[in-house]
Amino acid sequence: MLAAVAGLGFAAVNLPGFARFRFALGRPAETQRRLLRAYLERNRETAFGREHGFARLRSYEDFAAAVPPRSYDELEPW
């Protein structure tokens, strides 16, 4: 019971964040696309972003083609 009350207290204190979270839950694909666009925009002027053309990427498919999976050792220089 205490955990439930504490959870409600957090939701009440963080109402705007909680509302965004609840909204995103109902639209996972849209939310993921929006987050990817935000990450690409925020990082397009980094060395990694310039090297991989973040400014021209418009979709997950673009991102997957431009940024292949790599090991930690391959990413370490960035």
Q: Is 53:66 a contact under the CB 8 Å cutoff?
A: yes
pTM: 0.68
Alpha helices in 1-78 (DSSP H): 2-13, 15-25, 28-43, 47-51, 60-66, 72-75
Measure the CA–CA gap between 37 and 57, rounded to whole angstroms.
Answer: 8
- Give tens-digit pLDDT for 30-72: 999 999 999 999 999 999 999 999 999 999 999 999 999 999 9
